[in-house]
Amino acid sequence: MTAPKKLFIKTYGCQMNVYDSERMAEALGGQGYIETQNADDADMILLNTCHIREKAAEKVYSELGRFKGLKAENPDLKIGVAGCVAQAEGEEIMRRQPLVDLVVGPQSYHRLPEMEARTRTGEKALDTDFPEEDKFEKLKSWPKAARGPTAFLTVQEGCDKFCAFCVVPYTRGAEVSRPADRILTEARDLVERGVREITLLGQNVNAYHGAGPGGDLTLAQLIWELDKIDGLARIRFTTSHPNDMADDLIEAHGTCSKLMPYLHLPVQSGSDHILKRMNRSHTADSYLRLIERIRTARPDILLSGDFIVGFPEETEADFQATLDLIEEVGYGYAYSFKYSTRPGTPAAERPQVEEDVKSDRLQRLQALITHQQRAVQDSMIDKEISVLFEKPGRQEGQMGGKSEYLHAVHVANAKVNVGDIRKVRVIGSGTNSLSGKLV
Protein backbone atom coordinates (compact mmCIF):
# COMPACT_ATOMS: atom_id res chain seq x y z
CA MET A 1 0.00 0.00 0.00
CA THR A 2 1.37 3.41 -1.00
CA ALA A 3 1.99 5.73 1.94
CA PRO A 4 0.01 9.00 1.75
CA LYS A 5 1.86 12.13 0.77
CA LYS A 6 1.91 14.96 3.28
CA LEU A 7 0.66 18.48 2.55
CA PHE A 8 1.59 21.55 4.59
CA ILE A 9 -0.52 24.68 3.96
CA LYS A 10 0.26 28.05 5.50
CA THR A 11 -2.63 30.49 5.22
CA TYR A 12 -2.25 34.27 5.34
CA GLY A 13 -4.95 36.91 5.56
CA CYS A 14 -8.71 36.77 5.59
CA GLN A 15 -11.38 34.12 6.13
CA MET A 16 -11.72 33.80 2.36
CA ASN A 17 -8.22 32.37 2.32
CA VAL A 18 -9.06 29.99 5.18
CA TYR A 19 -11.98 28.68 3.12
CA ASP A 20 -9.80 28.41 0.02
CA SER A 21 -7.10 26.52 1.93
CA GLU A 22 -9.67 23.98 3.10
CA ARG A 23 -10.81 23.48 -0.47
CA MET A 24 -7.23 23.14 -1.73
CA ALA A 25 -6.54 20.48 0.90
CA GLU A 26 -9.63 18.60 -0.26
CA ALA A 27 -8.51 18.90 -3.90
CA LEU A 28 -5.08 17.47 -3.14
CA GLY A 29 -6.64 14.87 -0.87
CA GLY A 30 -7.94 13.30 -4.06
CA GLN A 31 -4.29 13.03 -5.17
CA GLY A 32 -3.34 11.08 -2.07
CA TYR A 33 -2.29 13.92 0.23
CA ILE A 34 -3.04 14.24 3.94
CA GLU A 35 -2.40 17.44 5.87
CA THR A 36 0.52 17.89 8.24
CA GLN A 37 1.24 20.73 10.65
CA ASN A 38 5.00 20.39 10.11
CA ALA A 39 6.64 21.73 6.96
CA ASP A 40 9.77 19.67 7.65
CA ASP A 41 8.11 16.36 6.78
CA ALA A 42 5.89 17.61 3.94
CA ASP A 43 5.90 16.33 0.36
CA MET A 44 4.23 19.57 -0.74
CA ILE A 45 4.30 23.02 0.83
CA LEU A 46 1.62 25.48 -0.23
CA LEU A 47 1.57 29.14 0.79
CA ASN A 48 -1.91 30.65 0.43
CA THR A 49 -1.10 34.33 0.34
CA CYS A 50 -2.77 37.68 0.96
CA HIS A 51 -1.85 40.94 -0.81
CA ILE A 52 -3.67 43.34 1.51
CA ARG A 53 -1.01 43.99 4.15
CA GLU A 54 2.25 45.93 3.85
CA LYS A 55 5.11 44.29 1.96
CA ALA A 56 3.00 41.16 1.43
CA ALA A 57 5.02 39.93 -1.53
CA GLU A 58 8.36 40.42 0.24
CA LYS A 59 7.13 38.43 3.22
CA VAL A 60 6.25 35.56 0.88
CA TYR A 61 9.70 35.64 -0.73
CA SER A 62 11.27 35.63 2.73
CA GLU A 63 9.17 32.62 3.73
CA LEU A 64 10.13 30.80 0.55
CA GLY A 65 13.79 31.44 1.29
CA ARG A 66 13.45 29.47 4.51
CA PHE A 67 12.43 26.40 2.51
CA LYS A 68 15.67 26.22 0.51
CA GLY A 69 17.22 23.81 2.99
CA LEU A 70 14.18 21.51 2.89
CA LYS A 71 14.30 21.46 -0.90
CA ALA A 72 18.03 20.61 -0.82
CA GLU A 73 17.40 17.72 1.56
CA ASN A 74 14.39 16.46 -0.41
CA PRO A 75 14.55 17.27 -4.14
CA ASP A 76 11.11 15.67 -4.59
CA LEU A 77 9.53 18.28 -2.31
CA LYS A 78 7.06 20.45 -4.25
CA ILE A 79 6.52 24.08 -3.27
CA GLY A 80 3.57 26.16 -4.43
CA VAL A 81 2.30 29.71 -3.99
CA ALA A 82 -1.44 30.37 -4.12
CA GLY A 83 -3.77 33.29 -3.43
CA CYS A 84 -3.58 37.00 -4.13
CA VAL A 85 0.20 37.45 -4.17
CA ALA A 86 0.33 34.59 -6.67
CA GLN A 87 -2.28 36.40 -8.79
CA ALA A 88 -0.40 39.70 -8.62
CA GLU A 89 3.16 38.42 -9.06
CA GLY A 90 2.66 35.45 -11.41
CA GLU A 91 5.84 34.52 -13.27
CA GLU A 92 7.90 36.92 -11.13
CA ILE A 93 7.60 34.48 -8.22
CA MET A 94 9.17 31.67 -10.21
CA ARG A 95 11.84 33.98 -11.58
CA ARG A 96 12.87 35.21 -8.14
CA GLN A 97 12.50 31.85 -6.41
CA PRO A 98 13.33 28.98 -8.79
CA LEU A 99 12.52 26.47 -6.02
CA VAL A 100 8.79 27.22 -6.58
CA ASP A 101 7.11 24.47 -8.62
CA LEU A 102 3.62 25.93 -9.05
CA VAL A 103 1.83 29.26 -8.81
CA VAL A 104 -1.97 29.36 -8.77
CA GLY A 105 -4.35 32.30 -8.43
CA PRO A 106 -7.45 32.31 -6.21
CA GLN A 107 -9.82 31.73 -9.14
CA SER A 108 -7.92 28.70 -10.49
CA TYR A 109 -7.19 26.50 -7.49
CA HIS A 110 -9.71 23.89 -8.66
CA ARG A 111 -7.02 23.06 -11.23
CA LEU A 112 -4.52 22.14 -8.50
CA PRO A 113 -4.70 18.34 -9.06
CA GLU A 114 -3.71 18.71 -12.72
CA MET A 115 -1.01 21.24 -11.84
CA GLU A 116 0.42 18.98 -9.14
CA ALA A 117 0.57 16.09 -11.60
CA ARG A 118 2.56 18.26 -14.02
CA THR A 119 5.11 19.14 -11.34
CA ARG A 120 5.72 15.41 -10.73
CA THR A 121 7.05 15.18 -14.29
CA GLY A 122 9.50 18.03 -13.62
CA GLU A 123 7.37 20.72 -15.25
CA LYS A 124 6.64 24.12 -13.69
CA ALA A 125 2.93 24.94 -13.42
CA LEU A 126 1.50 28.49 -13.54
CA ASP A 127 -2.20 29.42 -13.65
CA THR A 128 -3.40 32.90 -12.77
CA ASP A 129 -6.34 32.97 -15.18
CA PHE A 130 -9.89 34.01 -14.42
CA PRO A 131 -11.39 30.81 -15.94
CA GLU A 132 -14.90 30.63 -17.31
CA GLU A 133 -15.72 27.35 -15.56
CA ASP A 134 -17.21 27.54 -12.06
CA LYS A 135 -14.53 26.40 -9.64
CA PHE A 136 -17.18 25.68 -7.02
CA GLU A 137 -18.80 23.11 -9.29
CA LYS A 138 -15.43 21.34 -9.50
CA LEU A 139 -15.23 21.27 -5.70
CA LYS A 140 -18.31 19.08 -5.31
CA SER A 141 -16.57 15.87 -6.37
CA TRP A 142 -13.62 16.31 -4.02
CA PRO A 143 -13.35 14.29 -0.78
CA LYS A 144 -14.90 16.02 2.21
CA ALA A 145 -12.86 16.64 5.35
CA ALA A 146 -14.20 16.17 8.87
CA ARG A 147 -15.70 19.38 10.26
CA GLY A 148 -15.91 21.16 13.56
CA PRO A 149 -19.06 22.99 14.67
CA THR A 150 -18.26 26.18 12.71
CA ALA A 151 -17.50 26.65 9.02
CA PHE A 152 -16.92 29.32 6.40
CA LEU A 153 -18.92 29.25 3.18
CA THR A 154 -17.96 31.51 0.27
CA VAL A 155 -21.01 32.99 -1.45
CA GLN A 156 -19.49 35.92 -3.33
CA GLU A 157 -16.08 36.85 -4.69
CA GLY A 158 -14.48 39.94 -6.13
CA CYS A 159 -15.25 43.62 -5.71
CA ASP A 160 -16.40 46.43 -8.01
CA LYS A 161 -15.87 49.28 -5.54
CA PHE A 162 -12.26 50.14 -6.50
CA CYS A 163 -11.29 51.80 -3.23
CA ALA A 164 -8.14 53.82 -3.91
CA PHE A 165 -6.03 51.78 -1.46
CA CYS A 166 -7.15 48.26 -2.39
CA VAL A 167 -5.82 45.59 -4.76
CA VAL A 168 -8.76 43.18 -4.40
CA PRO A 169 -10.48 44.17 -7.69
CA TYR A 170 -7.22 43.36 -9.46
CA THR A 171 -6.39 40.09 -7.69
CA ARG A 172 -9.89 38.66 -7.14
CA GLY A 173 -11.66 40.22 -10.12
CA ALA A 174 -15.16 41.61 -10.57
CA GLU A 175 -18.03 40.77 -8.23
CA VAL A 176 -19.46 37.30 -8.85
CA SER A 177 -22.20 35.66 -6.77
CA ARG A 178 -22.71 31.93 -6.54
CA PRO A 179 -26.17 30.53 -7.40
CA ALA A 180 -28.31 30.08 -4.31
CA ASP A 181 -29.05 26.39 -4.88
CA ARG A 182 -25.34 25.53 -4.87
CA ILE A 183 -24.79 27.46 -1.65
CA LEU A 184 -27.74 25.75 0.02
CA THR A 185 -26.51 22.33 -1.09
CA GLU A 186 -23.08 23.02 0.39
CA ALA A 187 -24.64 24.35 3.59
CA ARG A 188 -26.78 21.22 4.03
CA ASP A 189 -23.70 19.08 3.50
CA LEU A 190 -21.82 21.03 6.17
CA VAL A 191 -24.69 20.62 8.63
CA GLU A 192 -24.83 16.88 7.95
CA ARG A 193 -21.16 16.75 8.92
CA GLY A 194 -21.77 18.44 12.26
CA VAL A 195 -21.58 22.16 11.51
CA ARG A 196 -23.85 24.30 13.70
CA GLU A 197 -22.70 27.77 12.61
CA ILE A 198 -21.94 29.03 9.10
CA THR A 199 -20.24 32.31 8.24
CA LEU A 200 -21.03 33.50 4.72
CA LEU A 201 -17.98 34.99 3.05
CA GLY A 202 -17.38 37.52 0.30
CA GLN A 203 -15.04 40.35 -0.46
CA ASN A 204 -18.22 42.42 -0.51
CA VAL A 205 -20.66 39.87 0.83
CA ASN A 206 -23.72 42.11 1.18
CA ALA A 207 -23.56 42.83 -2.55
CA TYR A 208 -24.61 39.19 -3.06
CA HIS A 209 -27.11 38.72 -5.90
CA GLY A 210 -27.02 35.02 -6.68
CA ALA A 211 -29.43 33.31 -9.04
CA GLY A 212 -32.47 31.77 -7.40
CA PRO A 213 -35.59 29.99 -8.69
CA GLY A 214 -37.54 33.22 -9.16
CA GLY A 215 -34.68 35.59 -9.97
CA ASP A 216 -31.62 36.88 -8.20
CA LEU A 217 -31.63 36.64 -4.40
CA THR A 218 -30.29 39.32 -2.08
CA LEU A 219 -28.10 38.33 0.85
CA ALA A 220 -31.08 38.71 3.19
CA GLN A 221 -33.17 36.37 1.04
CA LEU A 222 -30.31 33.86 1.01
CA ILE A 223 -30.11 34.06 4.81
CA TRP A 224 -33.83 33.31 5.09
CA GLU A 225 -33.33 30.24 2.87
CA LEU A 226 -30.49 29.08 5.10
CA ASP A 227 -32.74 29.73 8.12
CA LYS A 228 -34.92 26.82 6.92
CA ILE A 229 -32.11 24.24 7.26
CA ASP A 230 -32.73 21.99 10.25
CA GLY A 231 -29.68 21.67 12.45
CA LEU A 232 -28.14 24.98 11.38
CA ALA A 233 -28.30 27.12 14.50
CA ARG A 234 -26.28 30.21 13.66
CA ILE A 235 -25.60 32.39 10.60
CA ARG A 236 -23.04 35.17 10.21
CA PHE A 237 -21.61 37.07 7.24
CA THR A 238 -18.51 39.12 6.46
CA THR A 239 -17.16 41.47 5.04
CA SER A 240 -19.70 44.17 4.22
CA HIS A 241 -19.69 47.57 2.53
CA PRO A 242 -21.89 50.33 4.01
CA ASN A 243 -23.36 51.15 0.59
CA ASP A 244 -24.81 47.63 0.28
CA MET A 245 -26.58 47.37 3.66
CA ALA A 246 -30.02 47.06 2.10
CA ASP A 247 -33.29 47.49 3.99
CA ASP A 248 -34.12 43.77 3.94
CA LEU A 249 -30.71 42.90 5.40
CA ILE A 250 -31.15 45.41 8.21
CA GLU A 251 -34.61 43.98 8.86
CA ALA A 252 -33.21 40.43 8.93
CA HIS A 253 -30.94 41.42 11.81
CA GLY A 254 -34.04 42.21 13.83
CA THR A 255 -36.25 39.30 12.77
CA CYS A 256 -34.10 36.26 11.87
CA SER A 257 -33.27 34.42 15.08
CA LYS A 258 -30.44 32.46 13.47
CA LEU A 259 -28.65 35.61 12.26
CA MET A 260 -26.25 36.49 15.06
CA PRO A 261 -26.16 40.01 16.59
CA TYR A 262 -22.71 40.82 15.26
CA LEU A 263 -21.83 42.95 12.22
CA HIS A 264 -18.46 43.82 10.74
CA LEU A 265 -19.03 47.05 8.82
CA PRO A 266 -15.78 48.78 7.77
CA VAL A 267 -15.78 52.56 7.50
CA GLN A 268 -11.98 53.16 7.13
CA SER A 269 -12.08 56.86 8.13
CA GLY A 270 -14.31 59.40 9.84
CA SER A 271 -13.25 62.25 7.56
CA ASP A 272 -15.40 63.02 4.53
CA HIS A 273 -12.34 64.45 2.78
CA ILE A 274 -10.40 61.20 3.22
CA LEU A 275 -13.42 59.01 2.43
CA LYS A 276 -13.78 60.82 -0.88
CA ARG A 277 -10.08 60.39 -1.63
CA MET A 278 -10.45 56.71 -0.76
CA ASN A 279 -13.36 56.43 -3.22
CA ARG A 280 -15.52 54.95 -0.48
CA SER A 281 -18.76 56.50 -1.86
CA HIS A 282 -20.22 57.17 1.58
CA THR A 283 -19.82 59.92 4.17
CA ALA A 284 -19.24 59.77 7.90
CA ASP A 285 -22.78 61.03 8.49
CA SER A 286 -24.39 58.45 6.16
CA TYR A 287 -22.42 55.74 7.98
CA LEU A 288 -23.60 56.97 11.40
CA ARG A 289 -27.22 57.16 10.22
CA LEU A 290 -26.89 53.60 8.92
CA ILE A 291 -25.61 52.46 12.33
CA GLU A 292 -28.66 54.09 13.93
CA ARG A 293 -31.00 52.12 11.65
CA ILE A 294 -29.19 48.86 12.32
CA ARG A 295 -29.31 49.40 16.09
CA THR A 296 -33.00 50.27 15.89
CA ALA A 297 -33.59 46.91 14.23
CA ARG A 298 -31.30 45.02 16.67
CA PRO A 299 -30.47 47.12 19.76
CA ASP A 300 -27.97 44.62 21.22
CA ILE A 301 -25.92 44.19 18.04
CA LEU A 302 -22.15 44.30 18.48
CA LEU A 303 -20.31 46.26 15.80
CA SER A 304 -16.78 45.94 14.50
CA GLY A 305 -14.98 48.01 11.88
CA ASP A 306 -11.81 48.59 9.88
CA PHE A 307 -9.69 51.75 10.04
CA ILE A 308 -6.76 52.96 7.98
CA VAL A 309 -4.63 55.69 9.54
CA GLY A 310 -2.13 57.83 7.69
CA PHE A 311 -3.87 57.63 4.33
CA PRO A 312 -2.23 60.01 1.81
CA GLU A 313 -3.07 63.66 2.60
CA GLU A 314 -4.65 62.80 5.99
CA THR A 315 -4.32 65.78 8.32
CA GLU A 316 -4.56 65.81 12.10
CA ALA A 317 -8.10 67.20 11.71
CA ASP A 318 -8.98 64.28 9.42
CA PHE A 319 -7.63 61.84 11.98
CA GLN A 320 -9.52 63.55 14.80
CA ALA A 321 -12.72 63.09 12.78
CA THR A 322 -12.00 59.35 12.78
CA LEU A 323 -11.56 59.34 16.55
CA ASP A 324 -14.82 61.28 16.91
CA LEU A 325 -16.66 58.70 14.79
CA ILE A 326 -15.24 55.85 16.88
CA GLU A 327 -16.35 57.62 20.06
CA GLU A 328 -19.87 57.99 18.69
CA VAL A 329 -20.27 54.41 17.43
CA GLY A 330 -18.71 52.47 20.33
CA TYR A 331 -17.16 49.41 18.71
CA GLY A 332 -16.87 46.01 20.32
CA TYR A 333 -14.00 45.11 18.01
CA ALA A 334 -11.99 46.89 15.34
CA TYR A 335 -9.09 46.22 13.03
CA SER A 336 -6.74 49.12 12.39
CA PHE A 337 -3.70 49.53 10.17
CA LYS A 338 -1.21 52.09 8.99
CA TYR A 339 -1.70 52.87 5.33
CA SER A 340 0.85 51.14 3.10
CA THR A 341 1.17 51.61 -0.63
CA ARG A 342 -0.03 49.02 -3.11
CA PRO A 343 1.59 49.39 -6.53
CA GLY A 344 -0.98 50.02 -9.24
CA THR A 345 -3.58 51.57 -6.91
CA PRO A 346 -4.43 55.31 -7.21
CA ALA A 347 -3.40 56.15 -3.64
CA ALA A 348 0.12 54.81 -4.16
CA GLU A 349 0.96 57.79 -6.39
CA ARG A 350 -0.14 60.48 -3.91
CA PRO A 351 1.92 62.40 -1.32
CA GLN A 352 2.46 60.09 1.65
CA VAL A 353 2.10 60.81 5.36
CA GLU A 354 5.35 60.46 7.31
CA GLU A 355 5.86 57.08 8.97
CA ASP A 356 6.29 58.42 12.51
CA VAL A 357 3.01 60.34 12.16
CA LYS A 358 1.24 57.16 11.03
CA SER A 359 2.65 55.22 13.99
CA ASP A 360 1.57 57.88 16.49
CA ARG A 361 -1.96 58.00 15.07
CA LEU A 362 -2.27 54.21 15.02
CA GLN A 363 -1.22 54.02 18.67
CA ARG A 364 -3.79 56.63 19.68
CA LEU A 365 -6.57 55.01 17.67
CA GLN A 366 -5.83 51.54 19.04
CA ALA A 367 -5.83 52.85 22.58
CA LEU A 368 -9.35 54.18 22.07
CA ILE A 369 -10.54 50.96 20.42
CA THR A 370 -9.03 48.86 23.24
CA HIS A 371 -10.84 51.01 25.79
CA GLN A 372 -14.15 50.53 23.98
CA GLN A 373 -13.65 46.80 23.52
CA ARG A 374 -12.88 46.32 27.21
CA ALA A 375 -15.89 48.42 28.21
CA VAL A 376 -18.17 46.26 26.04
CA GLN A 377 -16.73 43.07 27.54
CA ASP A 378 -17.01 44.39 31.10
CA SER A 379 -20.67 45.26 30.46
CA MET A 380 -21.32 41.56 29.77
CA ILE A 381 -20.51 40.51 33.36
CA ASP A 382 -23.52 38.95 35.12
CA LYS A 383 -25.40 38.65 31.82
CA GLU A 384 -26.51 35.39 30.25
CA ILE A 385 -25.14 34.64 26.79
CA SER A 386 -25.46 31.73 24.38
CA VAL A 387 -22.20 29.85 23.74
CA LEU A 388 -21.41 27.42 20.94
CA PHE A 389 -18.69 25.17 22.36
CA GLU A 390 -15.89 24.51 19.86
CA LYS A 391 -12.96 22.87 21.66
CA PRO A 392 -11.45 21.95 25.04
CA GLY A 393 -9.68 24.76 26.85
CA ARG A 394 -6.13 24.85 28.11
CA GLN A 395 -7.06 23.83 31.65
CA GLU A 396 -8.45 20.48 32.77
CA GLY A 397 -12.24 20.41 32.40
CA GLN A 398 -12.35 23.76 30.61
CA MET A 399 -14.25 24.25 27.34
CA GLY A 400 -14.02 27.14 24.94
CA GLY A 401 -16.51 28.57 22.50
CA LYS A 402 -18.03 31.68 20.97
CA SER A 403 -20.93 33.80 22.14
CA GLU A 404 -23.58 35.10 19.79
CA TYR A 405 -21.58 38.36 19.84
CA LEU A 406 -18.42 36.51 18.72
CA HIS A 407 -16.71 36.86 22.08
CA ALA A 408 -14.35 34.02 22.96
CA VAL A 409 -15.76 32.39 26.11
CA HIS A 410 -14.06 29.93 28.50
CA VAL A 411 -16.07 27.83 30.95
CA ALA A 412 -14.50 25.75 33.73
CA ASN A 413 -15.92 22.37 34.77
CA ALA A 414 -18.12 22.40 31.67
CA LYS A 415 -19.77 19.05 31.11
CA VAL A 416 -20.64 19.75 27.50
CA ASN A 417 -19.71 18.36 24.12
CA VAL A 418 -18.14 20.09 21.14
CA GLY A 419 -21.06 21.47 19.11
CA ASP A 420 -23.35 22.03 22.10
CA ILE A 421 -25.00 25.44 22.47
CA ARG A 422 -25.65 26.33 26.11
CA LYS A 423 -26.59 29.32 28.20
CA VAL A 424 -23.67 30.74 30.16
CA ARG A 425 -23.54 33.44 32.83
CA VAL A 426 -20.53 35.72 32.38
CA ILE A 427 -18.41 35.94 35.54
CA GLY A 428 -15.22 37.56 34.25
CA SER A 429 -13.70 39.67 31.51
CA GLY A 430 -10.10 39.16 30.41
CA THR A 431 -7.96 40.20 27.48
CA ASN A 432 -10.03 39.48 24.36
CA SER A 433 -12.17 36.87 26.12
CA LEU A 434 -14.87 36.23 28.70
CA SER A 435 -15.15 33.58 31.41
CA GLY A 436 -18.42 32.10 32.56
CA LYS A 437 -20.31 29.25 34.15
CA LEU A 438 -23.12 27.13 32.80
CA VAL A 439 -26.62 28.25 33.72
Contact call for residues 12 and 49 (beta carbons, < 8 A): yes
Compute the Cα dihedral for 400, 144, 112, 66 and give only its sign.
positive
Give which of 270, 272, 269 is closest to 308, Cα–Cα: 269
**Tally of CA atoms within 13 A in the half-sphere of 125 that contains its CB:** 23
- Binding-site residue set: 14, 50, 84, 159, 163, 166
Give which of 50, 408, 229, 226 is closest to 237, Cα–Cα: 226
Between vectors from CA 258 to CA 256 and to CA 264, what angle results, nearest 5°?
90
- Binding-site residue set for [4Fe-4S] cluster: 14, 50, 84, 159, 163, 166
Beta strands 33-35 and 5-11 are parallel
**Tally of CA atoms within 13 A in the half-sphere of 212 that contains its CB:** 19
| CB-neighbour burial class of residue 159 (10 A; exposed 0-12, middle 13-18, buried 19+) | buried
| CB-neighbour burial class of residue 439 (10 A; exposed 0-12, middle 13-18, buried 19+) | exposed
Cβ neighbors of 306 (< 8 A, separation 6 or more) are: 239, 264, 266, 267, 268, 334, 335, 336, 337
- Peptide bond between residue 239 and the one before it cis (omega within 30 degrees of 0): yes
Beta strands 44-49 and 78-83 are parallel
Contact call for residues 437 and 411 (beta carbons, < 8 A): yes
Instruction: With residue 11 as reference, give the H or E element that holds it.
Output: strand 5-11
| CB-neighbour burial class of residue 393 (10 A; exposed 0-12, middle 13-18, buried 19+) | middle
Beta strands 44-49 and 33-35 are unpaired
Contact call for residues 217 and 210 (beta carbons, < 8 A): yes
Cβ neighbors of 227 (< 8 A, separation 6 or more) are: 235, 256, 257, 258, 259
